[in-house]
């Protein structure tokens, strides 16, 4: 009888411990701060290629500058590429960039404008040293001759063990110097055991979620990491909000101690594709997930920099209204 009682006692204690751990890691203790309490006015926005590829009226660029200030956008990722397969970008592709930057910064001198450059990984062989050299030379030219404040790399997909991309980052830093801003758009984080499992079940080449060590290696070089928290294939709003919350919690933990900014990207587009449902992944659900994550006691809030919105040309007045309400507290 004593044995049975002792067994039941330990079984109950074990069950309670399992329940507590499940609660702590799946839900966790939360505060109740609002988005405005986390808004450092250092948010990001992806904007379309036409700003530098086509001639723009001064008033139109000035309106954009005022819009950026209104919505606390500090970082602007201006589509300037894509790279050709040899790692170059013809000047014709961004021939109005200097004028655009001049007008924008005259109206909003605090904005940081980054050349958004990238390509599909299979079309850009960054394993090739000559192509990497062309890429870094192109980036240096965009900085020195055009006037961008830095580079925003968006090469997709990058697998969690892609050493060539880390080499490209190192060579970019060497080419541009320590004072030039380097930003990187990345896939979401996932634990290594999930990557290993996916590698067993799926073709590993399409397993592009990043693991902890790869984020840390990137943070050693880049000034900013921007997580593309969308195209998740999730079909329920609460599931997407939970995923965004977990990204905030774990990435702020992972990047704690690194001198690297962290932005969490959320979508406002309406694409109809298998991996994305705009009724699930959108401005409202994305912001709610971020706010939940920052309210979670396990998050290292000091690591968080801001939100990044993809994309300006897809964001309507109603969505900006949600942003104002949830993130700016207006």
For the segment 165-207, what is each residue's pLDDT rounded down to a tens digit?
999 999 999 999 999 999 999 999 988 765 555 555 555 444 5
Residues (pLDDT < 70) of the chain are 1-28, 193-208
| Exposed e or buried b per residue across 57-79, where buried means at least 16 C-beta atoms within 10 angstroms of its C-beta | eeeebbebbeebeebbbbbbbbb
Q: Domain extents for the chain?
A: 1-30, 33-328
From the number of C-beta atoms within 10 Å of its C-beta (0-12, 13-18, 19+), residue 98 rates as middle
At the top level of CATH, which class does the domain 33-328 belong to?
alpha beta
- Of residues 19, 17, 99, 92, the one with CA closest to residue 60: 99
Tell me which DSSP letter residue 84 carries. P
Give residues with Cβ within 8 angstroms of 70, minimum separation 6: none
- Of residues 123, 112, 190, the one with CA closest to residue 152: 112
Please report the pLDDT score of residue 209 as a whole number: 84
Please report the pLDDT score of residue 33 as a whole number: 98
Please report the pLDDT score of residue 194 as a whole number: 59
Cα separation, 41 vs 206, in Å, equals 35
Q: How big is the chain, counted in residues?
A: 330
């Amino acid at each position: 009888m004593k044995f049975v009682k002792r067994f039941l006692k330990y079984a109950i204690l074990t069950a309670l411990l399992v329940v507590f751990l499940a609660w702590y890691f799946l839900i966790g203790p939360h505060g109740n701060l609002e988005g405005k309490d986390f808004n450092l006015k250092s948010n990001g926005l992806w904007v379309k290629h036409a700003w530098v590829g086509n001639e723009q009226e001064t008033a139109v660029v000035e309106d954009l500058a005022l819009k950026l200030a209104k919505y606390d956008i500090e970082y602007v990722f201006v589509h300037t590429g894509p790279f050709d397969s040899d790692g170059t970008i013809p000047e014709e592709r961004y021939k109005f960039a200097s004028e655009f930057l001049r007008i924008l910064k005259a109206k909003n001198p605090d904005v940081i404008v980054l050349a958004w450059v990238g390509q599909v990984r299979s079309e850009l062989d960054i394993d090739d040293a000559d192509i990497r050299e062309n890429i870094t030379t192109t980036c240096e030219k965009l900085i020195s001759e055009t006037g961008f404040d830095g580079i925003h790399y968006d090469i997709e997909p990058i697998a969690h063990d892609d050493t060539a991309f880390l080499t490209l980052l190192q060579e970019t830093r060497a080419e541009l110097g320590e004072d030039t801003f380097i930003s990187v758009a990345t896939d979401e984080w996932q634990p290594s055991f999930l990557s290993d499992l996916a590698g067993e079940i799926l073709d590993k080449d399409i397993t592009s979620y990043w693991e902890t060590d790869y984020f840390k290696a990137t943070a050693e070089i880049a000034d900013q990491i921007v997580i593309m928290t969308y195209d998740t294939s999730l079909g329920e709003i609460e599931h997407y909000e939970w995923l965004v919350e977990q990204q905030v919690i774990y990435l702020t933990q992972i990047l704690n101690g690194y001198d690297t900014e962290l932005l969490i990207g959320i979508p406002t587009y309406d694409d109809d594709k298998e991996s994305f449902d705009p009724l699930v992944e959108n401005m409202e659900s994305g912001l709610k997930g971020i706010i939940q994550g920052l309210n979670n006691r396990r998050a290292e809030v000091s690591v968080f920099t801001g939100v990044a919105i993809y994309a300006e040309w897809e964001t309507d007045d109603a969505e900006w209204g949600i942003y104002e309400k949830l993130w700016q507290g207006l």
